[in-house]
Every structure is written in structure tokens, then in C-alpha cells.
């Protein structure tokens, strides 16, 4: 009896499935139609092979792994200075300085912050790369007097959100708030303050560009929310097309990406054979039903140009006024 379990796309039903394992975002995606089959999948594979081999160096580390927050500073804690120097007393002085550095409050505070950020990141399923970015952002933020004066948990939450944006990871304010218990308003304020701080830093170092790279995140959120709503690939593709058009034309300028995505999904599904209520979409996206409908009214005014070239089961007459 064959006890193996095979994952097959429910849309394509290809007996030889083309499943793409996106380890960065933790998604399993059908390579043929783009349907997200699973999300937030934890990669349990080993970092390297555990058996010995004659080729290459031994991957095993000696001592603790390098700390991305403290750099080489934490290596001081793994060494001791001998006092046997022939009675000159220099070794004793060096040992005292060494211990003072290793036990400094600043280093201990940074180490505690790194552990806290890692724990908060784990709650929302972030990968190590994004977590390390948040840790580095927090370390850099401590040179800013305004940021340093704020509660550390608030700054950590803002750093995590900024790290997600910088690494192209789709996480909402609501998810960050839920993991950190920091009010959305405070995260928003500190997020803007962090951006100003890092832009100034980059300018002083002669660097140009934006800290947050890549696309707006519209497509990422659309694919995520439509996956939660179990919408077919054709409707997902239409949502992406309309969403990018709304974003590029700045029809909802000043509104959050989540509001834009939720209203676009509602706009498209009203013309599909898979209708979803505004309440359903609001529940998945995390925005309020009233906010969604207000944004939808703006999109509705541009309905003809937005659906041009799209083949949807129902026409514009199916849209609620």
C-alpha cells in the first residue's frame, strides 16, 4: 500500500504537479497557474548535511554563531585573559578592561533587544534574514535621541515593520500590533521617524536611494488575501491587474496598501462567479468594512477604464452602486 502523500493543485489537477517551494516567504505555489497552495510553511530542513565528507571544509562552527546585532563585540564573552605575565601587572589591567567591556550594560541591553526582536518575529513567521534586518535597524536607531527616548518595544515593532517592507515581506500593521501589543498609531509614527533617520544617515554617508526597495506590495497582498478567500487563478490575475492600475494611477493616494487591495478585490469579485461580501474581504484583510466601501466608491468612478481588456464572467452592471 502506498502511504506517500502527494500535493496536487486543486485547480490544475496535474498528476505530475509543478509545485514551487518559496522558502523566503514560506509559500507553496503552483508553478502552472500561480495558485498559493499553502502559506507560512516552516522550513525544517537542516542548514547543512550532518554526515562527514571528504570534500570541502567542516561546516561545524566553533563556539557561538556570530551575532548580527553586536558584530564582533560578543566574541569578548568567549575568551579570558591570563594573569600570568611575569608579574608586570599588565595582564591584570587588560583583564579588568576586558571584563568591563563584556559586562557593559549597553552590550547586555542590545543582546536582550536582539532576543526580544527574534521572539516577536517568530510570532508572525518571519525568516532569519528579515529578523536580522530588524535587529540591525534597531541597533542603528539607538544613535537617534528621539528614538532612544521611546519605549524599546515600540521601536522594535517599528523596526520589524520597516524590515518587512525592506525585504519585500508582506505583513500588515494589524499583524505587527497583534504580535507586539503596540498601538498601530505609535508604530506608524515611529515608522516615519525611522525612515527620516535612515534617509539622513544615508545622505551623510553619500548614499542615495530609498531604504524600502521593490514593488509597492500590492501584488503580494492580493495573492495572499485571494488565497485566503479561495478565489480562482483567473480572478486573482484580474485583481493584480486592477490593483497595479489603481496604484500606478494613484486613484487611492493617501490610503493604505491594505485598503487599496481590499477594495480592489471587492471590485473584481462582484463581477465574478465567486462573489464575496465586503465583510468577508474586510475580515481577511484586517481593514474595516466602512473603509473598504469608501475606497470602492472611488474605484467605481473609474470602473470602465480599469476593466478594459479584462474578461470577467459578469459585466459592469453587476457592480453595486
pLDDT at 2: 45
| Closest by CA position to 239, among listed 259, 215, 267 | 267
Domains and CATH numbers, the chain: 1-43 (2.20.25), 106-204 (1.10.472.10), 218-318 (1.10.472.10)
Q: Give the three cell numbers for residue 265.
A: 478585490
- Helix intervals (H) in the chain: 90-102, 105-123, 128-141, 145-148, 152-166, 173-180, 184-204, 218-228, 233-248, 257-269, 278-285, 289-300, 303-306
The secondary element (H helix, E strand) that includes residue 29 is strand 27-30
Burial status of residue 285 (CB atoms within 10 A of its CB: 0-12, 13-18, 19 or more):
buried
pLDDT in tens, 211-268: 544 445 788 889 889 988 999 999 999 999 999 999 888 898 878 888 899 999 999 9
Q: State the average pLDDT over residues 292-312.
A: 91
Q: How far apart are CA 120 and CA 126, in angstroms?
A: 9
Backbone angles phi, psi at 29, to 5 degrees: -125, 140
Task: Report whether pLDDT(57) > 70.
Answer: no
Structure confidence at residue 126 as a pLDDT band (50, 70, 90): confident
Q: Given pLDDT bands bounded at 50, 70 and 90, which one contains residue 47?
A: low
Instruction: Give the neighbor-by-neighbor strand order of the sheet with 27-30.
Output: 19-22, 27-30, 36-38
* Listed ranges 23-27, 64-68, 163-167, 248-252; the one with the highest mean pLDDT: 248-252
Cα separation values, 233 from 243, 278, 313, 317, Å: 15, 20, 13, 23
Collapsing DSSP states into helix, strand and coil, what is residue 244?
Answer: helix
pLDDT at 28: 81
CB 119 within 8 Å of CB 157: no
pLDDT tens, position by position, 15-44: 777 788 777 777 788 877 877 877 777 766
Tens-place pLDDT, residues 174-205: 888 888 899 988 988 898 888 888 777 666 65
Query: What's the pLDDT score for residue 33?
Result: 80
Give the number of other Cβ atoms within 10 Å of residue 178's Cβ: 13
Alpha carbon distance 134, 141 (integer Å) = 10
Amino acid at each position: 500500500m502506498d502511504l506517500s502523500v502527494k500535493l496536487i493543485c486543486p485547480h490544475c489537477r496535474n498528476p505530475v504537479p509543478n509545485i514551487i517551494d518559496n522558502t523566503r516567504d514560506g509559500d507553496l505555489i503552483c508553478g502552472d497557474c500561480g495558485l498559493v497552495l499553502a502559506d507560512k510553511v516552516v522550513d525544517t530542513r537542516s542548514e547543512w548535511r550532518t554526515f562527514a565528507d571528504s570534500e570541502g571544509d567542516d561546516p561545524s562552527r566553533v563556539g557561538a554563531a556570530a551575532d548580527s546585532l553586536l558584530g564582533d563585540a560578543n566574541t569578548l564573552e568567549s575568551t579570558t585573559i591570563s594573569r600570568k605575565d611575569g608579574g608586570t601587572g599588565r595582564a591584570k589591567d587588560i583583564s579588568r578592561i576586558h571584563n568591563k567591556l563584556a559586562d557593559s550594560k549597553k552590550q547586555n541591553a542590545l543582546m536582550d533587544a536582539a532576543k526580544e526582536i527574534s521572539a516577536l518575529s517568530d510570532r508572525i513567521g518571519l525568516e532569519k534574514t528579515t529578523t536580522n534586518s530588524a535587529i540591525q535597524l534597531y541597533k542603528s536607531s539607538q544613535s537617534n535621541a528621539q528614538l532612544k527616548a521611546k519605549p524599546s518595544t515600540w521601536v522594535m515593532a517599528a523596526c520589524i515593520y520597516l524590515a518587512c517592507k525592506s525585504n519585500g515581506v508582506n505583513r500588515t500593521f494589524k499583524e505587527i500590533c497583534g504580535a507586539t501589543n503596540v498601538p498601530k498609531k505609535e508604530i506608524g509614527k515611529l515608522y516615519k521617524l525611522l525612515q527620516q533617520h535612515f534617509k539622513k544617515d544615508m545622505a551623510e554617508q553619500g548614499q542615495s536611494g530609498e531604504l524600502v526597495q521593490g514593488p509597492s506590495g500590492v501584488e503580494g497582498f492580493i495573492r495572499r488575501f485571494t488565497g485566503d478567500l479561495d478565489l480562482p487563478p483567473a480572478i486573482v490575475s484580474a485583481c493584480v491587474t486592477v490593483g497595479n492600475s489603481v496604484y500606478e494611477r494613484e486613484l487611492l493616494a493617501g490610503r493604505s496598501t491594505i485598503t487599496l487591495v481590499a477594495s480592489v478585490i471587492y471590485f473584481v469579485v462582484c463581477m465574478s462567479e465567486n462573489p464575496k461580501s465586503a465583510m468577508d474581504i474586510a475580515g481577511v484583510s484586517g481593514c474595516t468594512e466602512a473603509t473598504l466601501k469608501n475606497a470602492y466608491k472611488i474605484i467605481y468612478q473609474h470602473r470602465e477604464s480599469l476593466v478594459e481588456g479584462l474578461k470577467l464572467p459578469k459585466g459592469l452592471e453587476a457592480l453595486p452602486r
